[in-house]
Amino acid sequence: MFTVNVLVKIIGVLMFGALSFGMASSFANQDGILKHNLATDIQMFIETLVSFDGDSYVFLDKYDASDVSVVLTNNQVIVSNPGDLENEKVRRVYFLPQGYQISGAVKGAEMICLKKENQIILLEGCQERNEEGKYFS
Amino acid sequence: MKKGSILANNIILWTFGFIIVALAISLMTSLIQYKGSVISWPQEVQSQLVSLKFTNNPSCFAFFDNFTQKSISNSVDLNKFNDENLVGCYDTGKLKGVRSINYKFVLVGHGVDTSTSNYANDPRLQYEKEVLVFREGEFVGRDILQMQVQII
């Protein structure tokens, strides 16, 4: 038979195990992966948009961004979930040529789009498709 | 309880605990590695994408044709190929303590070079591509643009 001492030890080991598994799963949560990938994709699209003449519209339709907020500042894109602490927000930096303006904030949009007109880049949500399958903001 | 029985219980308990902790640690390690592999971009791709603007955007090195009002892709205007102009195109010096990709550009045939604000002569990657070279609005020929990439 187990004594009280042994039972306490078993409970302690189980609690430590549960804590470790909890930490492991929080390290690998899907939200974190989505935030990192979305932020890097937006960063790379912005870098690409400023590399070419002409106006463009980019649909980031492989992401369901309804649970995240995305903010563009002059130098970085910030992707976060509601209630994220500062260190949980994902940031990616870009350096734009002089003359370019960039702005936009999207929260809970089903789809995210980047629009470039002349030297202005805007981030906006786009939700509806037309008959050709294109998205409208 | 007998002494031998207590000892056996303790051994079983510690073995069980060790297995659980080892499993948790290995799971955590593999999940972190998995997450790292899912979110990482190859540095070559990032640095190539970022470098596109240097030879395509007229605010950087690209030649702007006033007649057609278009910039010429993959071109270098020698009047713009200097550190001063590069700061206006890609100023990594304005954000402190931030990871950034820095470049040194060498126009091999013309023997001129320029580099971004935080370039510290520690290149990790190097690319070369052919560019069209312009001076004072005139085409002067083709040259090789060497890009040395430093990723902090």
Count the neighbouring beta carbons within 10 Å of the beta carbon of residue A23. Answer: 15
What are the φ and ψ backbone dihedral angles of A30, each rounded to 5 degrees? -65, -35
- What's the angle, vertex CA B114, arms to CA B44 and CA B104, rounded to 5? 20
Task: Name the residue among B118, B74, B7 with its Cα closest to residue A93.
Answer: B118
**How many residues are recorded in chain B?**
152
Distance from CA of A51 to the nearest CA of B (A): 4
The predicted structure's pLDDT at residue A90: 92
What are the φ and ψ backbone dihedral angles of B21, each rounded to 5 degrees? -65, -45
Rounded to the nearest angstrom, the gap between the alpha carbon of residue B42 and the centroid of all alpha carbons in its chain is 9
* Pick from A3, A20, A75: CB nearest B21: A20
Element (H, E) at B75: strand B75-77
Q: CA of B55: which chain A residue's CA is closest?
A: A51
Q: B92 at the A interface (CB within 8 A)?
A: yes
Q: Decide if A36 contacts A84 (C-beta within 8 A).
A: no
Chain A residues within 8 A (CB-CB) of chain B?
1-3, 6, 9-10, 13-14, 16-17, 20-21, 23-25, 27-28, 32-33, 36-37, 40, 44, 47-48, 50-53, 75, 93, 95, 97-100
ipTM (interface predicted TM): 0.78
pLDDT tens digit sequence for A55-81: 888 888 888 888 899 999 999 999 999
- The order of strands in the sheet holding A76-80 is A56-60, A112-117, A120-125, A101-107, A69-72, A76-80, A90-93
Beta carbons of B1 and A1 less than 8 Å apart: yes
The predicted structure's pLDDT at residue B31: 80
Q: B7 at the A interface (CB within 8 A)?
A: no
**How many residues are recorded in chain A?**
137
Q: CA of A98: which chain B residue's CA is closest?
A: B88
pLDDT tens digit sequence for A14-70: 787 777 767 766 665 656 888 999 999 999 999 999 998 888 888 888 888 888 999
Distance from CA of A131 to the nearest CA of B (A): 33
Q: Is the pTM of this model over 0.80?
A: no
